[in-house]
Structure formats: C-alpha cells, structure tokens
C-alpha cells in the first residue's frame, strides 16, 4: 500500500496568534520551551511534547490543548494532517471529533508480514480504541482518513478489529463492529470505490503438498463482504435478535443482495466460490483487481464439440489444448488463441514461447503451403461461460498484417462466415492466405504479427488476449 505524505492545502499552526512551521527533527525553542507542534515540509503536524493533547473540533479549526503547565493552546486548520505515530497522545474527552486525518502508517498484508496475520507499521490500538468507545466502526470511517486514502483507512481499522477476533474467536466482541465496517465498505463500493482485493487479510502458507499454492489467501474485500451474509449475522447474533435485525436492515438499505452474496474463504480448494463472488461483484459493478486470469492450456468445455473436452466446435480434429487463454471470471467470458500447422495440428513445443504477461509467441514458417495458403492457421474461440449467461457480449477478432514493429489490424468481424456475432460460442480457424493479396502477400510473409481477440460489454473493453506470430 502506498504511504503518501503529500497533502494539499495548508495547515496553519498558531501560537499566541502567530503561525509556525518547523522542521520536525529539530523543533523550535521559544522563551526556553519547545513548541507543542511542528509542521514538516509535507504539511504533517507532529506533536512534540511527551504528554496528552486535548483535541477539540471547532466549526472551522482544530484546537489542541497540551496537558503541560505553560504549554500554549494551538489552533490548526480543520483539515490538518497529523503524524500517525503521535495519535496515541490525543485526548478526545469523551467527544467524537468532527474530522481527523493521519499520515505515515502502512497496512502490511498477512501474506508478507511474516507473523501469520495482517499488521500495521504504527500501533494505533489506543487511538482507535478511544474512537470506538464513542462510535461504531462505520462512524470511525465517517470521520477518519489515513494517508488521504479511504482504502488505507478501511485496511488499518480492519487490522485492529481482526486482532480482537483472533484473540476471542467466532463470537468475538468485535463482531458487531466488523459488520459495521462491512456496511461502510459496501457503501464505499456502491459509490464506485476500488475493492481491496490486493490486500490480504487471512493467509496460511503452503503446507508442502503437491503444489505451491497457499492453503488460504483471502482479501480484505472478500472478508469484509463475507461478514454481511445474513446467515453469518444470524449465527453470531441470533436469528431475530434486535442486534441481527438492525444490522440486516442497514445492509438492505444499501443492497439487499449482499445478504446472500456467496462466501469465499480464500481456501486453496475454493475455486468455485472464488468464481461465484467474482460473478456477483461484476454483476453489481464492484471494482476488483482479480476478475481476469490468464493461462495456457485447454479451453472451457463449452468451446468443445458437445462439451467433450477433446476437439473444438468449428471442426473435427482440432484439439482444445495449447491455447493462450484469458478468462474474465466476473463477466463470464473466455478468449483463446493459438497457431497450429495445417493438416498436422499443434506446433512443436519448441516453437512456442509462453510469456509471463499471458501472451504467447508462435514461430511459424514464412514459406506458403501453396500460393494462396500459409502452412499454419490461427485457431480462436470466444466463449461465454456460465457466469455470463445473463449478459450479452460483443467479441472482436483482429489480425495484424504489418510484419514490422508497427501494427495494422484487420477487423475480421466483417468476414462473413468466419465470424458470427451474437452467438454464445464464436470460434473459427483463420489462414493468412484468406486475405486478399493487396492486404497480405503470402510470398513475402516474414515478420512479427499480433493476433488479438477482444470481449466488450456495453461498449467497454473488459478482456483481451493476444498472441504473436514470428514468421521466419
């Protein structure tokens, strides 16, 4: 997670009516005492005294009163940003602040922390505990911003609550606040916020089995929304209890579908559940980073003849394997492309390079099979999987005819029988010899070409797969 200390606007420190901005490393002595605050070059306010500071929210500013004899009261802009490492010094005197901004704290995912759980770089336990004594987790989200980021704020508050859950177990006292935080997070998603799918909350490393996949890796996103399931709420608080009913009502006000969203634990064997939550989130326009997966191998059974997982629909003898594949698991589309040899089948493995970015390079012969045919074809398949049955997509198959470093795509969606739009499974095999000689000269084919297959949903490009033809 980014740790940004750059904040726009100004924080105005006043000491008996005069503004001060000081280097945090040295502070400033005036009349034999150290000033209570210093504002560093990034505009972050540091509390210099080893004492508590009474925090008072005023309509247009923040008033700080250090608990030290002779220390002056400080007035700061209401948007002032404070160093997270000093947050434990705040004394709210039982009054919830209107707004408070902190900087200088990072969330450390459970997959990289080395402790088995998520951590933070600064201990905010006392600070967050004082706020949660005055409001619930959603109320904290309303007033608190960390590093200028809503995502950072959710993550750090989640880590604090998770410590309580780990300590106390399934019926932990933090459960109500966990649901409250999930409700605030759902509101954030509904407003277009980016899901916290890159931040790992629950992690169990690989146990030495046949693969190297972690036994569990659950994102904050799926954990937070998992707490909003009606079954989970009723299990923890009791079906029909006032606590459960109040939480369920609050979730229904945001989106009642969340009460029955599938649950994804992040466990190694939970691929079906992972697909299900991605389909749910896509249908609800939630932004998550793990919709798209790339791999090399066999296409979805729907792309095969009669679902036989052996050969493609477009013709017998065409294998369903050795494709470069992109799947959008949320939308429910699969894009697959490969080069093959005419009358032979898949290329020799030594002539195929599978690239780390999900593309693949196929090395093929520049000599034509006959004047109007190359000795290789491009097989492609655009398939709607089960998750996409409730949607309508547009697929585009594009072939580059410029063998130089430049690209000149021909849109093959207009080639009649070679592409039939509007069907669930669109696939075919294309030979560059099908092009008119003015478009592609089979006798001068040497070069590097890009083949591209795209999926569009409601005018938006949602997935694409590319391969490269190295014609030598």
Alpha helices in 94-149 (DSSP H): 125-132, 137-143
Q: Stretch 121-147: mean pLDDT, rounded?
A: 98
The burial class, CB within 10 Å (0-12 / 13-18 / 19+), for 209 is exposed
- pLDDT at res. 115: 95
Q: Could you give the residue ranges of the DSSP H alpha helices within 191-229?
A: 220-226
Contact 76, 45 (CB under 8 A): yes
Which pLDDT band, with edges at 50, 70 and 90, does 186 fall under? very high
What DSSP designation does 118 have? -
The pLDDT, as a whole number, for residue 11 is 36
Place 10 in a pLDDT band, splitting at 50, 70 and 90: very low
The Cα 432–Cα 221 span in angstroms is 46
What does the alpha-carbon distance between residue 334 and residue 303 come to, in Å, rounded to a whole number? 9
What count of other Cβ atoms lies within 10 Å of the Cβ of residue 248? Answer: 20
Break the chain into its structural domains and give their ranges. Answer: 14-283, 292-471
Model pLDDT for residues 338-370, shown as the tens digit of each residue: 999 998 999 999 999 999 999 999 999 999 999
**Three-class secondary structure of residue 301 per DSSP:** helix
**CA gap 183, 197 in Å, rounded:** 17
pLDDT of residue 33: 63
Distances (CA, A) of 348 to 168, 340, 360, 364, 448: 58, 9, 14, 10, 19
pLDDT of residue 19: 36
Share of the chain above pLDDT 90, in %: 81
- Give 149's strand partners: 146
Give the sign of the dihedral formed by CA 141, CA 234, CA 224, CA 201: positive
pLDDT band at 378 (very low <50, low <70, confident <90, very high): very high
Neighbours of 124 (CB within 10 A): 22
DSSP state at residue 117 = B
More confident residue, 345 or 33: 345
Q: What share of the chain is helix, strand, coil (3-state, %, to 5)?
A: 25, 30, 45
Q: Which backbone phi and psi does 301 adopt, to 5 degrees? A: -55, -30
At 331-340, the pLDDT tens digits run 999 999 999 9
Question: Is residue 170 pLDDT above 90, yes or no?
Answer: no
The tens digit of pLDDT for each residue in 387-429 reads 998 888 999 999 999 999 999 999 987 653 344 444 557 889 9
How is residue 32 annotated by DSSP?
Answer: T
Mean pLDDT of all residues in the chain?
91
Pairing, β 144-146 against β 200-204? unpaired
Tell me what pLDDT residue 217 has: 97
Residue 136 pLDDT more than 70? yes
Q: Which three-class secondary structure state does DSSP give residue 357? A: coil
Q: Per residue in 61-118, pLDDT tens?
A: 999 999 999 899 999 999 999 999 999 999 999 999 999 999 999 999 999 999 999 9
pTM for this structure? 0.88
14 pLDDT above the threshold of 90: no
Whole-angstrom Cα distance, residue 368 to residue 354? Answer: 25
- Asked whether 102 and 82 are in contact (CB, 8 A), the reply is yes
């Amino acid at each position: 997670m980014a740790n940004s200390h750059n904040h726009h606007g100004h924080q105005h420190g006043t000491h008996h009516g005069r503004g001060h901005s000081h280097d945090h490393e040295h502070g400033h002595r005036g009349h034999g005492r150290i000033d209570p605050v210093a504002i560093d070059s990034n505009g972050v306010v540091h509390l210099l005294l080893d004492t508590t500071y009474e925090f008072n929210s005023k309509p247009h500013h923040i008033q700080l009163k250090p608990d030290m004899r002779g220390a002056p009261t400080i007035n700061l802009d209401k948007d002032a940003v404070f160093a997270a490492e000093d947050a434990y010094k705040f004394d709210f005197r039982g009054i919830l602040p209107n707004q408070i901004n902190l900087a200088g704290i990072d969330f450390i995912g459970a997959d990289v922390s080395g402790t088995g759980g998520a951590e933070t770089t600064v201990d905010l336990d006392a600070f967050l505990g004082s706020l949660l004594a005055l409001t619930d987790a959603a109320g904290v989200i309303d007033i608190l911003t960390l590093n200028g980021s809503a995502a950072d704020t959710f993550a750090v508050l989640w880590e604090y609550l998770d410590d309580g859950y780990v300590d106390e177990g399934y019926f932990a006292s933090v459960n109500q606040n966990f649901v409250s935080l999930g409700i605030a997070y759902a509101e954030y998603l509904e407003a277009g916020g980016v899901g916290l799918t890159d931040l790992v909350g629950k992690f169990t490393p690989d146990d030495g089995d046949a693969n190297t996949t972690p036994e569990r890796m659950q994102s904050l996103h799926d954990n937070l929304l998992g707490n909003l399931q009606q079954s989970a709420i009723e299990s923890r608080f009791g079906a029909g209890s006032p606590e459960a009913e109040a939480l369920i009502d609050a979730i229904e006000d945001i989106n009642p579908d969340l009460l029955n969203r599938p649950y994804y634990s992040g466990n190694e064997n939970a691929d079906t559940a992972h697909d299900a939550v991605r389909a749910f989130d896509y249908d609800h326009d939630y932004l998550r980073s793990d919709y798209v997966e790339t791999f090399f191998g066999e296409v979805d059974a729907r792309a095969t003849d009669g679902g036989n997982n052996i050969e493609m629909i477009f013709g017998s003898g065409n294998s369903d394997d050795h494709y470069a594949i992109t799947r959008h698991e949320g939308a429910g589309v699969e894009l697959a492309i490969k080069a093959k040899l005419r009358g032979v089948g898949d290329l020799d493995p030594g002539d195929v390079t599978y690239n780390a970015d999900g593309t693949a390079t196929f090395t093929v012969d520049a000599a034509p099979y006959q004047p109007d045919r190359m000795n290789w074809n491009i097989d492609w398949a655009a398939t709607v999987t089960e998750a996409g049955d409730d949607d309508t997509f547009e697929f585009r198959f594009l072939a580059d005819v410029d063998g130089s470093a430049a690209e000149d795509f021909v849109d093959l969606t207009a080639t009649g029988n070679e592409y039939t739009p509007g069907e669930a499974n669109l696939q075919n095999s294309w030979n560059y010899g099908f092009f008119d000689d003015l478009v592609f000269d089979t006798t001068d084919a040497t070069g590097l070409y890009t083949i591209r297959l795209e999926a569009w949903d409601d005018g938006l490009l949602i997935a694409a797969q590319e391969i490269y033809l190295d014609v030598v």
